[in-house]
A and B are shown apart, each in its own frame.
Chain A
């Protein structure tokens, strides 16, 4: 999955949607639609970082569930103060943050709701919504200036 904040050429949407890359037959689907989260046993998974867990193919972590997004948040590292507000508010755990440092957006799971932009406290905002097809570098190049306080 993409963790760089770029939705460019590595976009896998429509390919890995819910395990669609390997459409097995009736004889290979799991019994009773029981979907194990991880491959093999996984104790204390809450203390393992997502990128270090061995996710099952049928876990939605390894599949794109964002095909319905029509606008996307773009992240501007130059302005961000790492307050973690967006990380707390994101309803789809699609803000990637490590050691309290904001890294970017998980575009495989972000649905484009815009909550992260709404709660961003910087001026100008470090996250802004753009059309799904807008190039991220183009979006960053045209980032708005700091707004003056209204009197």
Chain B
């Protein structure tokens, strides 16, 4: 039986430590991991808990991230609660097996500490790895600070393991700006946290010898399509269960989570959409602008990137007062508009309000995104709103040195 870990009502934890504590409290059967910066401390701390008797489950040190996720898949198919952590290049190496985990409907929890992808090699935070995995069929939750990096993994187990969901869940947090920033965190006691998640209920587990089962079967054109359709339906339907788990967590802790977080949107004339730790920067900038100039700025932050909250994003955007929206993408767009821009625009297209929407690329490779820059971009939205069209390029780059970089303009006949 695992030792109880004494916790204070308020702890000072960085995002990595917070995530590792949540994993410990979940009493996972198997963690198979290969540590990588900046997520290393999650695995390192977890190994410490295991060595010191705070965890009953197995900890498997493997030879690569591909092996880590493969080990997780094997253990999950065998019938255990399973989790791991990774970042960036490790996430990229996992990519192949991420699709196997979701297709096999195995509720693995992966804590991703977001970091840029090489080349050039970079250990700092941006959302390239998050974007790389967005079509892998996992539920994607995003933590903006340490408290959320603790809360969301607890909920991730409960969501993914729900028998009507049975899908793997990623919990993202920003490399360094969240993972290495110590903040006040209010943890739950071990027993309360574990009881919130509940006992793991295996499905089609290979260790049930009375019901032999094949996992990872091959299907060709005659069956593959049906399985992918069923998988997509499960992912789309998980929205209501995510809402239920968020509500249960609020009842337990008083901390409220929504699939789309929004701040000051009720009367907003312009809005900024973004992910990760930048959300808090943007909220501060919006508050300051409201005080300094009276510009009514609101912030929209998808907490749940997959299943994409098309429904709730549309609710946020469909406001008569809202004239201009800027989508902030913290990932090199690779020859397209930013992914967040594309998805938010698609949701906005079916609204009556149809606000102007433009795109900024920002913060690549950990480039700082500060309050002044957020305010400058918000003021630019006001100029679009007043002119009735986008007055700049539709896609621009924020905070990059050299001549102004941008692409495409509004078409006006």
Give the one of B103, B222, B226 with max A CB within 10 A. B226
Query: Chain B residues with Cβ under 8 A from A41's Cβ?
Result: 210-211
Contacts of A35 in B (CB 8 A): 213-214, 217
Tell me the dominant secondary structure on chain B's binding face. loop
B211 touching A26 by the CB < 8 A rule? no
Task: Name the CB-closest residue of B to A19.
Answer: B223
Tally of B interface residues using CB under 8 Å: 26
- In the docked arrangement, what's the CA distance between A36 and B225, Å? 20
Q: Which residues of A contact B240 (CB under 8 A)?
A: none
The listed residue (A23, A25, A34) touching B104 by CB distance below 8 A is A34
Q: Quick check: which of B27-35, B54-62, B127-135, B227-235 contacts chain A, the rest being far away? A: B227-235
Query: A29's contact among B166, B204, B216, B227, by CB below 8 Å, is which?
Result: B227
> Could you say which residues of chain B place their CB within 8 Å of the CB of A25?
226
**Complex Cα–Cα for A27 and B229 (A):** 8
Q: Which residues of B contact A45 (CB under 8 A)?
A: 212
Bound form: Cα–Cα A16–B122 in Å:
54
Across the interface, B105 reaches (CB within 8 A) one of A31, A36, A42, A43, namely A31
User: B212 near A29 (CB under 8 angstroms)?
Assistant: no
Residue of A nearest to B226 (CB): A26
A20 CB within 8 Å of chain B: yes
The one of A20, A27, A33, A37 in contact with B212, judged by C-beta atoms closer than 8 angstroms, is A37
Q: Are A31 and B222 in contact, with the CB atoms below 8 A? A: no
B106 CB–A CB distance under 8 Å: yes
User: Given contacts A38-B212, A42-B210, A43-B210, are A32 and B223 in contact (CB under 8 A)?
Assistant: no
Chain A interface main SS type: loop
Is the CB–CB distance between B211 and A33 below 8 Å?
Answer: no
Residues of A within 8 A of B104 (CB): 32-34
Name the interface residues of A1-44: CB closer than 8 Å to any CB of B: 18, 20, 23-27, 29, 31-38, 40-43
The yes or no answer to B203 lying at the interface (CB within 8 A) is yes
CA distance A27 to B215 in the complex (A): 19
Is the Cβ of A36 less than 8 Å from the Cβ of B212?
A: yes
B214 shortest CB reach to chain A, Å: 4
Compute how far the CA of A45 lies from the CA of B211 in the bound complex, rounded to whole angstroms: 10
- Residue pair A36, B227 in contact (C-beta under 8 Å): no
State the interface size on chain A (CB cutoff 8 A). Answer: 21
**Chain A contacts of B226 at CB under 8 A?**
24-26, 29
CB neighbours (8 Å) of A38 from chain B are: 211-212
Q: Cβ of B214: which chain A residues have Cβ within 8 Å of it?
A: 34-37
What's the Cα separation between A42 and B229 when bound, in Å? Answer: 31
| A33 CA / B225 CA spacing, docked (Å) | 12
B residues in contact with A18, CB < 8 Å: 222-223
Q: What residues on A are CB-neighbors of B217 within 8 Å?
A: 33, 35
Verify if B219 is at the interface (C-beta below 8 Å from A).
yes
**Chain A min CB distance to B97 (Å):** 14
Q: Which of A20, A24, A36 touches B204 (beta carbons < 8 Å)?
A: A36
**Min CB–CB distance A60 → chain B (angstroms):** 9
Closest Cβ–Cβ distance, residue B409 to chain A (whole Å): 43
Q: B209 within 8 Å of A by Cβ? A: yes
- Chain A neighbourhood of B234, CB < 8 A: 31
- B210 (CB) vs chain A CBs: closest residue: A41
Q: Please indicate the chain B residues that have their CB under 8 angstroms from the CB of A42 in the complex.
A: 210-212
B222 touches A23 (CB 8 A): yes
Q: Cβ of A26: which chain B residues have Cβ within 8 Å of it?
A: 225-227, 229-230, 233
Q: Which residues of A contact B233 (CB under 8 A)?
A: 26-27
Residues in A with CB closer than 8 Å to B230 are: 26-27, 29, 31
Alpha-carbon distance between A27 and B213 when the two chains are bound, in angstroms: 20
Which of B105, B211, B222, B229 contacts A32, CB < 8 Å? Answer: B105
CA distance A35 to B210 in the complex (A): 14
Query: In the assembly, what is the distance between CA of A127 and CA of B215, in Å?
Result: 36
- Provide the bound-state CA to CA distance between A29 and B217, in Å: 13
Q: In the complex the two chains form, what is the Cα distance from A27 to B233 in whole Å?
A: 9
* Residues of B close to A31: CB separation below 8 A: 105, 166, 203-204, 230, 234
Tell me the nearest residue of chain A to B223, going by C-beta: A29
* Other contacts beyond A31-B230, A32-B204: 20, CB < 8 A: A20-B222, A24-B226, A26-B225, A26-B227, A26-B230, A27-B230, A29-B226, A29-B230, A31-B204, A32-B104, A32-B105, A33-B219, A34-B204, A35-B214, A36-B214, A37-B213, A41-B211, A42-B210, A42-B212, A43-B209
List 6 A-B residue pairs with CB atoms under 8 Å apart, sorted by A's residue number: A26-B225, A32-B106, A33-B103, A35-B214, A38-B212, A42-B211
Instruction: Give the 3 A-B CB pairs with smallest separation, nearest first.
Output: A32-B105, A26-B229, A34-B204
